[in-house]
């Protein structure tokens, strides 16, 4: 099926990993770095730009750890951590960390802040000043801006940068040795290019973050910037399937991965849940949780089935126009579940 996706030019290549009942059931890679026949072949250890998988794997997990340790009150107003968030709109004082995690803050989904902000300080100032589009806590609307602000707030709470905290407290303990922000130049031969960017950076993006706002932030941001191979995400998924051990308590995992209860929302705290038609397909249980990444990445975890599926692609090569992965990805998840249950 992944080979079929390459033929249809949904993506030049893909790597996947399947965890079932505590074991790595599959680890495969197909395709190449680009559509050219002499391009390097992908291998299971190929490192991908995870895009918005940064949100659950790095930022949300950092929030989980800080919450567990009593350092983070989920209902603390964001302005209590980032005073610059306050403005003339009195509703801004109501926005909490919980609302950012469950995408109910009222902040916009996305703003092209990079077009007017040339430095990290300028971009963060623009994010802090982003106007509310809805009453806080009343509706769910997925927001990159909210996670940009979380990526600034959580390091303030921890008194440590996001990338350093995650490396020491999450990736290191789980043996995720190739999961990192800002990959060094020597790793670039193992990272497929994400796009031939002809409008903003005017170069081929390989080993540097695809997201423009994250790029201006220096490659380390709460919403995007993380790179990893499928095998490392399988280790991460195994941890959550084991109730969070050895990182987290089972009640913390349960709290963050169940639906918030907002009308019409499928979101938990930093994690999405299946809502038909779901990119996880037809077979994942109501207890499942997961997330997608813009570059063509996804992670879905189902405690009821004791199953996790990692799918990493670079569907944005050579540009971001193709949406064929949206048709292929749920079919792929269905095929995995059906193969395992035959």
Among 162, 191, 213, identify where a domain stops. 162
Does residue 169 lie within any of the structural domains? no
Same domain, 21 and 103: no
Quote the CA–CA distance of 213 and 256 in Å, as a whole number: 26
Residue 259 lies in a domain: yes
- Are 195 and 256 members of one domain? yes
pLDDT one-digit tens code per residue, 323-333: 999 999 999 99
Strand partners, 47: 229
Q: Where are the beta strands (DSSP E) in 42-156?
A: 47-49
**CA neighbours closer than 13 Å in the CB half-sphere of residue 153:** 33
Q: Is 291 left (phi over 0), alpha (psi -120 to 50) or beta?
A: beta
- Mapping DSSP to helix (H, G, I), strand (E, B) and coil, where does residue 228 land? strand
pLDDT of residue 155: 98
Reported pTM: 0.98
Structural domain for 274, as ranges: 2-52+176-341
Give the H or E element holding residue 121.
Answer: helix 120-128
pLDDT for 342 equals 85
Those residues of the chain that have pLDDT short of 70 are none
The verdict on residue 213 lying in a domain is yes
pLDDT at residue 154 in the model: 98
Which of 136, 162, 188 is the last residue in one of the domains?
162
Q: What confidence tens digit (pLDDT) does each residue in 73-118 have?
A: 999 999 999 999 999 999 999 999 999 999 999 999 999 999 999 9
Specify the number of domains making up the chain: 2
In terms of domains, do 180 and 267 share one? yes
- 3-state secondary structure string across 176-217: CCCCEECCCHHHHHHCCCCEEECCCCCEEECCCCCCHHHHHC
């Amino acid at each position: 099926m992944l080979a079929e996706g390459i033929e249809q030019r949904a993506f030049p290549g893909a790597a996947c990993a399947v965890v079932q009942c505590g074991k790595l059931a599959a680890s495969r890679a197909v395709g190449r770095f680009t559509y050219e026949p002499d391009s390097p072949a992908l291998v299971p250890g190929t490192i991908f730009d995870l895009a918005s998988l940064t949100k659950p794997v790095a930022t949300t997990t950092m929030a989980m750890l800080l919450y567990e340790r009593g350092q983070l009150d989920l209902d603390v107003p964001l302005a209590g951590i980032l005073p610059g968030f306050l403005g003339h709109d009195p509703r801004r004082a109501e926005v909490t960390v919980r609302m950012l995690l469950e995408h109910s803050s009222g902040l916009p989904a996305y703003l092209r802040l990079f077009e007017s902000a040339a430095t990290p300080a300028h971009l963060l100032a623009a994010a802090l000043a982003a106007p509310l589009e809805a009453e806080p806590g009343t509706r769910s609307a997925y927001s990159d801006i909210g996670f940009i602000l979380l990526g600034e707030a959580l390091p303030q709470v921890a008194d440590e940068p996001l990338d350093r905290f995650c490396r020491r407290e999450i990736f290191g303990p789980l043996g995720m040795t190739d999961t990192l922000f800002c990959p060094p130049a020597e790793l670039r031969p193992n990272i497929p290019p994400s796009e031939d960017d002809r409008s903003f950076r005017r170069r081929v993006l390989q080993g540097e973050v695809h997201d423009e706002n994250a790029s201006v932030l220096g490659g380390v941001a709460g919403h995007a910037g993380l790179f990893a191979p499928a095998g490392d995400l399988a280790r991460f998924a195994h941890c959550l399937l084991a109730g969070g051990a050895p990182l987290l308590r089972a009640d913390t995992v349960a709290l963050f991965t169940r639906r918030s209860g907002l009308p019409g929302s499928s979101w938990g705290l930093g994690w999405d849940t299946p809502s038909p038609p779901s990119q996880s397909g037809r077979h994942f249980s109501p207890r499942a949780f997961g997330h997608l990444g813009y570059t063509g990445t996804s992670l879905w975890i189902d405690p009821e089935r004791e199953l996790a599926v990692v799918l990493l692609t670079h569907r944005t090569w050579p540009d971001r126009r193709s949406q064929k992965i949206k048709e292929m990805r749920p079919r792929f998840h269905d095929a995995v579940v059906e193969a395992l249950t035959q």
